[in-house]
Amino acid sequence: MIKRGLLSGLGTVWTLGKVIFPVTLIVSILQYTPVLNWIVKGISPAMKVLGLPGEAAIPLVLGNFLNLYAAIGGVLTLHLTVKEVLILAVMLSFCHNLLIETSVALKVGVKLWVILTVRISLALISAIVINLVWHGGGQYAQYGSFDGKDGEISGAASIVLHGIENALHGIWKLAIIVIPLMVVIQIMKELKWMDKISSGLAPLMKILGMQKNASMTMATGLVLGLAYGAGVMIQAVQEDGVSKKDATLAFIFLVACHAVVEDTLIFVPLGVPVWALFLIRIITAFILTMAVSYFWKRAETAKLRKETIYEHI
């Protein structure tokens, strides 16, 4: 199991590295060209509302159209404060990899507008709230041993070399986290711990307003994420007879808090307070899902009452 996990981890690092390396290299080089300044100048007014500089739009775009690893590759090239990195981390935790993860939601039967509205709204609202509420984190973020601040660099060769160093540094930091994580996931799969986690989540389903047959979907999403656990989640919905309502509620919870271990730990190299990130995701997921479940139930009750009245008439 450990051998298979290591091979899986190395394969994942290789796959992710093919994204992170070119992204980090390109963004690093763009910092020394007029292109980045044009982008920053055009987006800066809107980004200020979120408490972010204009260039922070780059990792947001990369994260939403590619994945979190590409976004982190973009962050590693920017000079950001701890507060700015935390805002980015929270936004990206709520809203990333939209193309793939939204496709998964559609296959399970969740409506497109629901997923996009929830994810984008959570990202924007969380950024605004953190910016207004937290007045600390003004120091530069420490990206592991990379402090995010560069000396004067001139010449094409030096710029390219500097970009390569940043890219390799980012891949190394992520490999330290991803490889052990994939070993653990492999062990969990082969020992069928996912089934035990699913059974343990059954009582939680009631609190969130769902039937217990949605527990496998929740367990898969929480541990493996929407993209990695896509096949298992789709199969669980089809075989366990999960209703569209429960599938929607499960996905609303999971878009706020999925792959809770991996998607939290990968931000460690950026130096953000990961416990704060973890708690924000968990608390938001519970409050949002319980609220939607409550109003959904009220709407169903009101509809049933009207139908009963019409039948009597």
Q: Residue 144: its pLDDT value, please?
A: 57
Q: Are 269 and 72 in contact (CB under 8 A)?
A: yes
Model pLDDT, residue 227: 66
- What integer pLDDT is reported at residue 12 of this predicted model? 66
Model pLDDT, residue 151: 52
Give me the amino acid identity at 75. Answer: V
| CA triple 203-204-210, angle to 5 deg | 95
pLDDT recorded at residue 232? 64
Burial (CB < 10 A; 0-12, 13-18, 19+), residue 17, is: buried
For every residue of the chain, which 3-state class applies, written as one string? CHHHHHHHHHHHHHHHHHHHHHHHHHHHHHCCCHHHHHHHHHHHHHHHHCCCCHHHHHHHHHHHHCCHHHHHHHHCCCCCEHHHHHHHHHHHHHCCCHHHHHHHHHHHCCCHHHHHHHHHHHHHHHHHHHHHHCCCCCCECCECCECCCCCCCCCHHHHHHHHHHHHHHHHHHHHHHHHHHHHHHHHHHHCCHHHHHHHHHHHHHHHCCCCHHHHHHHHHHHHHHHHHCHHHHHHHHHHCCCCHHHHHHHHHHHHHCCCCCHHHHCCHHHCCCHHHHHHHHHHHHHHHHHHHHHHHHHHHHHHHHHHHHHHHC
- Exposure string of 79-108, with b = 16+ CB inside 10 Å and e = fewer, is ebbbbbbbbbbbbbbbbbbbeebbebbeeb
- Dist. CA 189–CA 202, nearest whole Å: 19
pTM: 0.72
Written as tens digits, the pLDDT of the chain (313 aa) is: 888 878 877 876 786 677 678 877 887 787 677 876 777 677 778 898 999 998 898 888 888 877 787 788 888 888 899 899 999 999 999 998 887 788 777 877 788 888 899 999 999 999 999 999 988 888 887 765 444 444 556 678 888 887 788 778 777 876 776 678 678 767 877 887 767 777 788 788 888 999 888 887 788 788 777 766 666 667 777 777 888 888 889 889 998 888 887 788 878 878 778 888 899 999 999 999 999 999 999 998 888 888 787 777 6
